[in-house]
């Protein structure tokens, strides 16, 4: 999906529906709106928020489930969602359903994909900082690590500064 969300569509829709104003602007806004609506299979009713239906979203693990619920809550302003469960076998199917418009569903998918990718990048950076903070690496410098930019080094140092300063040796000393 392109960088389009329901708020942008609603703003363009508001320009089109506004009485008065510049007719050229309204015509151009209608052209853009029609194109986006065709691309995403939306109707005027979807943009007005009157067509509510249950949309399902898949996730792979607990972190993604938690992120998806945050995104759904932010966009729909609702806390309720439906976790699907196979009642015969008690197997949890990794999908969440939510009652929302098509425009909101598109925005949820866009925002979830964006933040999930960002989360994966941040998680990797946090892991590197954790390893560095606690010196969980060999002492020889084999040089097969990725070269970090100055900005990445600064981020790592800030992350490391915020982490707990614990070591296994201090744990052993405490028990002796």
Start-to-end Cα distance in the chain:
59
With 60 as the cut, is the pLDDT of residue 132 above it? Answer: yes
Could you read off the pLDDT of 24-40 as tens digits, one per residue? 877 887 788 788 778 87
Tokens for 70, please give them: 């945050």
Q: Which of 32-46, 82-96, 119-133 comes out lowest in average pLDDT? A: 82-96
Could you read off the pLDDT of 2-61 as tens digits, one per residue? 444 566 676 776 676 665 667 887 788 778 878 877 887 777 776 666 678 889 999 999
pLDDT band at 65 (very low <50, low <70, confident <90, very high): very high
pLDDT attached to residue 141? 58
**Residue partners of 50: CB distance under 8 A and separation at least 6:** 101
With 50 as the cut, is the pLDDT of residue 62 above it? Answer: yes
Collapsing DSSP states into helix, strand and coil, what is residue 3?
coil
pLDDT attached to residue 64? 95
pLDDT band at 82 (very low <50, low <70, confident <90, very high): low
Please report, for the chain, the start and end positions of each structural domain, with discontinuous segments joined by +. Answer: 1-51, 127-170
User: From CA 72, how far away is CA 3, in angstroms rounded?
Assistant: 18
Q: Is the pTM of this model over 0.75?
A: no
């Amino acid at each position: 999906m392109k960088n389009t969300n329901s708020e942008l569509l609603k703003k363009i829709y508001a320009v089109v529906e506004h009485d008065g104003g510049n007719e050229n602007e309204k015509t151009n806004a209608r052209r853009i709106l029609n194109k986006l609506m065709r691309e995403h299979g939306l109707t005027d009713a979807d943009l007005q928020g009157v067509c509510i239906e249950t949309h399902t979203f898949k996730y792979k693990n607990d972190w993604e489930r938690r992120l998806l619920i945050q995104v759904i809550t932010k966009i729909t302003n609702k806390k309720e969602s439906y976790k699907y469960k196979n009642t015969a076998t008690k197997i949890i199917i990794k999908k969440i359903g939510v009652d929302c418009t098509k425009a909101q569903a598109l925005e949820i998918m866009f925002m979830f994909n964006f933040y999930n990718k960002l989360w994966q990048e941040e998680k990797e950076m946090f892991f590197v900082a954790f390893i560095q903070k606690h010196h969980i690496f060999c002492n020889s410098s084999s040089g097969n690590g990725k070269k970090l930019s100055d900005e990445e080094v600064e981020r790592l140092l800030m992350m490391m500064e915020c982490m707990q300063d614990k070591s296994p040796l201090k744990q052993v000393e405490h028990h002796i």
